[in-house]
Structure 1
Amino acid sequence: MKKRLAIALMIGGSLLIKAQIGINMSAPEAILHVDGQKNTASAVPSSYYDDVVVTFSGNMGAGTKSPKVRLDLRSGEHVNAIGIGGTSQTASAAKAGAMRYNTGTQDLSYSNGTSWVTLAHKATNDFVDAENFSTQSFTSGTQAAVTNWTKKTDVNGSFNSGTGIFIASKTGVYIVSFTFSLASGTIANDSRYETLIQTNSTSSTTNKVFKCVGSYPGTNSLSNRVAGNCSGIFNLNKGDNITVSLNQALGTAKTLDTDGSLTSLSIFGL
């Protein structure tokens, strides 16, 4: 009886050692082979796209029956994205080599064992090109932001055309150019105008305002268009904004020219 039991144990042990487990299939091709759609055919490579296998060497494959590394997602279906979520763990708790996704900054970082380090990546530069057909009115002697723009280009959706506020999508250097044209009208004696490009940035490495001035000194009997331009370079942090405004002191209220192409704004992030 003891001999029979020993033989049975030996046979059972050998079966356990050699066993392959197949789920949704009768002929598994790895130590563990799961066929999601129960459609595997050895002559049809695409039939393995829904399969998961664990090989005798300990490699795991999803969409491939021949994983070459510990986790292999390389299938011919090309839907092999890896979903990485966020975590509340500290970098030291997650250990070196761990990765996480940051929902706020929308980037990936890895743990070096001590801190989370953001992976270097190249975000699309901001670029805005807009014209103004609004015929906005400006009271003499009062500074007012230029609003109600018509966007031609806004690569990252960073410009609010209604308010005229641009918000930097990333930290960097920004070049801004603003031109305007006022409808023809009388110009007072010793009059002037200012165009201003401003930022709310608190950075100590950038100018807060670029101001450009035009003047009509002496006695004037003019009735004409008034046009000007201004440009500036800003070193902005992500989230800083830029606005353009006009302060005309030409004696009477003025409106932007009906030809919107004469009033334009360009913002480019380097």
Structure 2
Amino acid sequence: MKKQLALALLVCGSLWIRAQVGINTSAPEGILHVDGMKNTSASTSTSYYDDVVITSSGNMGVGTKTPKTRLDLRSGERLNAIGIGATSQTAAAAKAGALRYNSGSQDLSYSNGSSWIPLAHKTSNDFVDAENSSAQSFTDGVQTAITGWTKRTDVNSSFNASTGIFTASKAGVYIVSFSVSLASGSIANDSRYETLIQTNSTSSSTSKVFKCVGSYPGNNTIDNRVAGNCSGIFNLNQGDHITVSLNQKLGSTKTLDTDATLTSLSIFGL
């Protein structure tokens, strides 16, 4: 009888000992304790930064051994960001309280059980202010994108000054305006030029070209400085491009004026 009691006590003791599981640690401090780097020291609080602990109350701590909520990420080194991805689930399938990230509008939304509701947020709008003194050449009758810009402002680094390509950082409405000035030179009789703003949008509903035309009708016997401007409003998807270009039909090759203030571009996202 004594042997059976001793055996029962031994089994129960073993079960109690195994009630706390440690991975990479021989001294678990919760029902489950994982020491990622195998560096935990009870006397050094910073050693818990790589640990995951589940307490007897069911709370989980990542980077802390004393979680105060169902999931507690408040570790001392402040690397406490939570990664939330997109989902194709309906709000009803995800259930009330679920969160998701929306890549197009770059915001978070939550499910109320029937609909996805965007959380109030404010991200920086795209804003580009650039000028051009590159003396770029334009062949007569050939539409050519204006390149070689110098950026004065580019809030979200969305403008490639070398290629002249702007990329929308998020979906929205964009106002674009640019002016261009060519170096003085002869102009052919009854000549014209076009300034253009266009997108490469993959959506037919947002793909658009704004074209502005200037003309020199009749006889032109003296040198002239050609200058023009164009503006437009675009509804863009995230990743859509905007470029500005010139198609001059003035009778010969022309170049941009080297005065940077005369050729300028501004793009603003609402």
User: What is the TM-score when the length of structure 1 is the normalising length?
Assistant: 0.74
2:129 counterpart of 1:129:
yes
Amino acid at match of 2:148: W
Aligned ranges 1:52-201 → 2 under 5 Å: 52-83=52-83, 124-140=124-140, 142-152=141-151, 153-201=153-201
The DSSP-based 3-state class of the residue aligned with 2:258 is coil
Q: 1:53–1:238: structure 2 CA closer, same or farther, 3 Å change rule?
A: closer
Amino acid at match of 2:146: T
Residue 49 of structure 1 aligns with which residue?
A: 49
Amino acid at match of 2:198: Q
Amino acid at match of 1:209: V
The DSSP-based 3-state class of the residue aligned with 2:212 is strand
The DSSP-based 3-state class of the residue aligned with 1:210 is strand
The DSSP-based 3-state class of the residue aligned with 1:46 is helix
* Cα distance in 2, alignment partners of residues 195 and 112 from structure 1: 49
Aligned ranges 1:217-236 → 2 under 5 Å: 217-236=217-236
2:253 counterpart of 1:253:
yes
Deviations 1:7-41 (A, max 9, x none): 54256426634766374656544334444534413
* Cα distance in 2, alignment partners of residues 161 and 60 from structure 1: 49
Q: Quote how far apart the aligned CAs of 1:226 are.
A: 1.7
* Cα distance in 2, alignment partners of residues 26 and 163 from structure 1: 60
Greater strand proportion: 1
Contact 2:177 2:265 (C-alpha < 8 Å) held by counterparts: yes
Contact 1:147 1:161 (C-alpha < 8 Å) held by counterparts: no
Deviations 1:211-265 (A, max 9, x none): 3333444444432322121111112223433222223333433211123342122
The DSSP-based 3-state class of the residue aligned with 1:13 is helix
2:30 counterpart of 1:40:
no
Gaps of 5+ in 1: none
Q: 1:207–1:52: structure 2 CA closer, same or farther, 3 Å change rule?
A: closer
Gaps of 5+ in 2: none
* Cα distance in 2, alignment partners of residues 237 and 34 from structure 1: 44
Amino acid at match of 1:45: S
Deviations 1:169-206 (A, max 9, x none): 322111111111111112344443332222344444x6
Contact 1:143 1:245 (C-alpha < 8 Å) held by counterparts: no
Amino acid at match of 1:41: A
Q: Quote how far apart the aligned CAs of 1:63 are.
A: 1.6
Contact 2:92 2:114 (C-alpha < 8 Å) held by counterparts: yes
* Cα distance in 1, alignment partners of residues 85 and 242 from structure 2: 33
RMSD value, Cα:
4.0
Amino acid at match of 2:4: L
Amino acid at match of 2:41: T
Identical-residue share of aligned pairs (%): 70
* Cα distance in 2, alignment partners of residues 122 and 234 from structure 1: 21
* Cα distance in 2, alignment partners of residues 230 and 245 from structure 1: 10
* Cα distance in 2, alignment partners of residues 198 and 21 from structure 1: 65
Contact 2:200 2:207 (C-alpha < 8 Å) held by counterparts: no
Q: How many residues align?
A: 266
User: What is the TM-score when the length of structure 2 is the normalising length?
Assistant: 0.74
Contact 1:147 1:162 (C-alpha < 8 Å) held by counterparts: no
* Cα distance in 2, alignment partners of residues 221 and 166 from structure 1: 39
Amino acid at match of 1:40: S
The DSSP-based 3-state class of the residue aligned with 1:180 is strand
Residue 13 of structure 1 aligns with which residue?
A: 12
Q: 1:262–1:19: structure 2 CA closer, same or farther, 3 Å change rule?
A: same
Amino acid at match of 1:49: Y
Q: 1:230–1:66: structure 2 CA closer, same or farther, 3 Å change rule?
A: same
* Cα distance in 1, alignment partners of residues 158 and 125 from structure 2: 10
Q: 1:45–1:87: structure 2 CA closer, same or farther, 3 Å change rule?
A: same
Deviations 1:34-73 (A, max 9, x none): 445344134x422332333221112222221211223322
